[in-house]
Amino acid sequence: MSKLLDRVPPLTALPLPRSVDRRWLASQGPVTELAPAPEGLKPILGDAGAPIVGHSLSFMRFGQEFGLHRYAEFGPVSWMGAFGNRIITVTGADATQAVLTNKDKAFSQEAWQFFIGKFFPRGLMLLDFAEHHMHRRIMQQAFTRDRLTGYVAQMGPTVREGVKALAADPHPRLYRALKQLTLDIASRVFMDMPSGKDADEINRAFVDAVRAGTAIVRHPVPGGRWAAGLRGRKTLEAYFGRNLAAKRHNDGADLFSALCHASTEDGERYTDEDVINQMIFLMMAAHDTSTITSTTAAYYLAKYPHWQEKAREESLKLGDGIPDIEALESLQTLELVIKESLRLVPPVPTMARQTVKDTELLGFHLPQGMMVSVSPTANHFDPAHWTDPHEFDPERFAEPRREDKAHRFAWMPFGGGAHKCIGLHFGMLEVKALLHEMLLSYEWHVPESYTARWDYVSLPVPVDGLPVHLVKR
């Protein structure tokens, strides 16, 4: 197993007495108005937090707990200091719907520039309005049913080989093992690149680019995450640039080829620069979310062995062959477990927007030019929509309960509106393929007393790497 993914947990993940954590979580500065509100509207209340860093470290340490605490303290619309900015925080299904459907076009994607613009410029998620619509129409051609069928066929042998390799360590840190495997899958499906030295170099560059987005020191200081991210971006650009002409010439089954040949009915196509930008963006958007989702689902399958056995029974019925797309779609128990895992630990905990004009939200005044953070946290734990929301209960997604239908934005791990994740079906298929192979090959367990703790420095990952006991079947 490559060591490129091993890392020391950040300072925000170090264990502290619960009494210290409680005081930290509850700490806040003087509550003030973000800005005066026009007559008939309410001002947004909040606080700046600690000097310079604001509440950045609090969110990185407490994640969902921090979001739920702020929601209870201030309601669906508040503001806080973080990353040197004042950020409006939007939570709750109604407020989320208003922002993400964006009917009056008051919210742009510009806020993503602050976090990831240097590393994923002009990626689909960073584009707005008509330009975004055009790029999305082209990219959709890379996610047709026929393309998805090809991606599943490509990933199957890599998944099986990678899962079999897990047997080398009966006590793996499962997150690290799955991250390496999903990187290998991305190399194969996205670029038709086999595992090896070149793939490791690309994967390291990619990991550096992703982690740079939430750096506190946002300058290329030698040895810092920001500088590593910039180097990673250059490495990725050089790789895709070198290989683009060959992909244009031959229409392969990989995603890189698909983007090179994607065309709408009226002839719109990507330029070479577009292909490079979108490939690097898609690696970021697809890889980390799949890793986190598969890790979280594997954790809950370990924590609740009766669900693991129920899912295994369905997988065994498929036989020993590598499953095709229809077979993966038939795994309904796994789908319920994955959806519940996405509810409890959404892999993208916040979605960034920016106000392009003064606007109103639930009676609150939002000034122009403000960064807005939309979080699924409160939506996914709102007792108005979910029964016992802190409990693991996959049946809530099954008929006839379908608690996710209580509100259009009660469950939103893939975002919503015009920027809803374009690869959500591919992501579900990848996670199913990976867990299916694990169910066929192993049983895995965690101690009954074990509870995973998540590090939110970048995206949610288990602080300890998720140690499990893996038993070959």
% of the chain exceeding 70 in pLDDT: 97
pLDDT of residue 2: 43
DSSP, res 212: G
With cut-offs at 50, 70 and 90, classify the pLDDT of residue 5.
very low
Q: What is the pLDDT of residues 167-191, one digit of tens each?
A: 999 999 999 999 989 988 988 898 8
DSSP, res 77: E
362 vs 193, residue with greater confidence: 362
The pTM score is 0.93
Closest CA to 460 of 302, 295, 305, 330: 295
Residue 6 has pLDDT above 60, yes or no: no
Q: What is the pLDDT of residues 336-355, one digit of tens each?
A: 999 999 999 999 999 999 99
H or E element, residue 445 = strand 442-445
pLDDT of residue 193: 80
**Mean pLDDT throughout 273-281?**
95
203 vs 294, residue with greater confidence: 294
Q: For residues 471 and 473, give the distance between their C-alpha atoms in angstroms, rounded to a whole number.
A: 6
**Mean pLDDT throughout 77-103?**
96
DSSP, res 83: T
With cut-offs at 50, 70 and 90, classify the pLDDT of residue 376.
confident
With cut-offs at 50, 70 and 90, classify the pLDDT of residue 3.
very low
Average pLDDT over all residues of the chain: 93
**Mean pLDDT throughout 224-229?**
92
pLDDT of residue 128: 95
Q: For residues 44 and 32, give the distance between their C-alpha atoms in angstroms, rounded to a whole number.
A: 8
